Amino acid sequence: MTRWLPRDLWIVVIGMVLLYTGLSFIWPFNMIYMTQELGMSTTDASLVLLINSGVGIVSSIIGGLIFDRFSGFISLTIGTVILVFSTASLCFFHGFPFFMWNLWAVGIAMGMVFSGLYAAAGLTHPTGGRTGFNAIYVAQNIGVAVGPLLAGLLAKQGMSHVYIGSFVFAVYFFFFFHKIDWKSEKVTADTKHRKKGTKREFPTNLALWSFVLLLLTYLLCQLPHVQWQSNLSTYMTEIKGVTASEYGNLWSLNGALIVLGQLILIPVVSRFKKYLLAQIYIGIFLFILSFVVAMNASVYSGFVLGMIFLTLGEMFAWPAIPTIAYQLAPKGAAGLYQGLVNGMATAARMLAPFVGAIVVQNLGGIKALFIGAFILLGCALISITLQQILQKKDQQEKAAMKVSVNQGE
């Protein structure tokens, strides 16, 4: 089992599968449940989900700080305990307003747990490289593929059964992540985890601005990407005649490509795994190509091709972002940096549907949405280029300073 990945990283990966499978029992039904079962308006239900994303962003950062200040074990324990209790509460209390409170508690828990698992993926890999982040990226998509399928079967028995299923997976995860050897040499000595008695490092101004540009790049890429899940879904189903079933199949294709495509992509990426900038460039150009195809698609097969390009793009770009963040993190700040990366993705998912709807309704319809996506992705290319320039300059200055210190001795 440890042939390709270290033992502890395998635990992180399997834990992520359990976590995302359990989470995927809940999220597909949230809007439907609130509007059809609880009688809430679409606006009110959207506000509930907006707040849920907001608390997730804050808890991602808090979880990262706890990870760095104390330990990954503590941050994941706190997050998982909240998750277990909130999913258990959902099993019994899913009427109004208890459903909202429990859902927000789940959002708090997931923010803390996600930031902890991403930091653990870097810490449990010998080099903290792309391999670990790619592994948990694939794990997420396995969970997303399996969860809704199982939840759909349980939903026929009633929503309480769906929440029971989510609770069971939360309990499994609670006991599973304890198997990580948090006191191993890899976690405490050979990694960036803050050790007792050591002084905390702070980033240089160049490194800090480099990280800000990385977060900006991620936001600029995620905002268009999420349009495929929100405003483009309306465009496809209401204007282009794509059925709801066909649209759902696009995301099934997305998940299948991510999991099965690793057989092809891993050998390709391994040839230039040190060139993270090239991987992000490729990802962004594939995103652009997906929107070009979607904009000109008149039949369903066109959107299928667009989804293939979109999926290939995220397979190149998404794992590279947290990898660079891990490289930029000073000692004792791996959790915070991964929490901020996770928070940025959550912010994009929160803002994108709303911003896209404003563009479509007030700035020229669906054509304006496509133009806006191209502008954002073009800005992402500029942002990641500047980020890499600053990162290299910072590395050069640190190397020169180290040589100067050694000569002085």
pLDDT over 90 percentage in the chain: 17
- pLDDT > 70? residue 272: no
Q: Which of 30-34, 243-247, 285-289, 371-375 has the lowest mean pLDDT?
A: 30-34
Rounded Cα gap, residues 374 and 380, in angstroms: 10
- 241's torsion region: left (phi>0), alpha (psi -120 to 50) or beta? left
* Strands, E assignment, 20-101: none
> What b-and-e string marks burial along 185-224, b requiring 16 or more CB atoms within 10 Å of the CB?
ebbbeebbbbeeeeeeeebbebbebbbebbbbbbbbbbbb
**In the numeric block, which tokens belong to residue 209?**
């601005």
Res. 273 pLDDT band, cuts 50 70 90: low
Res. 382 pLDDT band, cuts 50 70 90: very high
Which of 127-136, 214-223, 267-276, 335-344 shows the highest mean pLDDT?
A: 214-223
**Which H or E element spans position 82?**
helix 72-92
pLDDT of residue 255: 79
- pLDDT > 50? residue 191: no
**In the numeric block, which tokens belong to residue 356?**
């896209």
- pLDDT > 80? residue 406: no
Could you read off the pLDDT of 93-103 as tens digits, one per residue? 778 888 888 88
- Residue with token string 């007030």: 362
Taking the chain, what is the end-to-end CA distance rounded to the nearest angstrom? 46
- pLDDT > 70? residue 271: no
Residues 107-118, mean pLDDT to the nearest whole number: 85
Q: SS3 of 196, please?
A: coil
More confident of the two residues 180 and 380: 380
Could you read off the pLDDT of 278-302 as tens digits, one per residue? 889 999 999 999 999 999 988 889 9
- pLDDT > 90? residue 220: yes
Whole-number average pLDDT of the chain: 81
Q: Which of 85-99, 122-136, 240-254, 378-392 has the lowest mean pLDDT?
A: 122-136
CB contact at 8 A, 315 and 265: yes
More confident of the two residues 404 and 68: 68
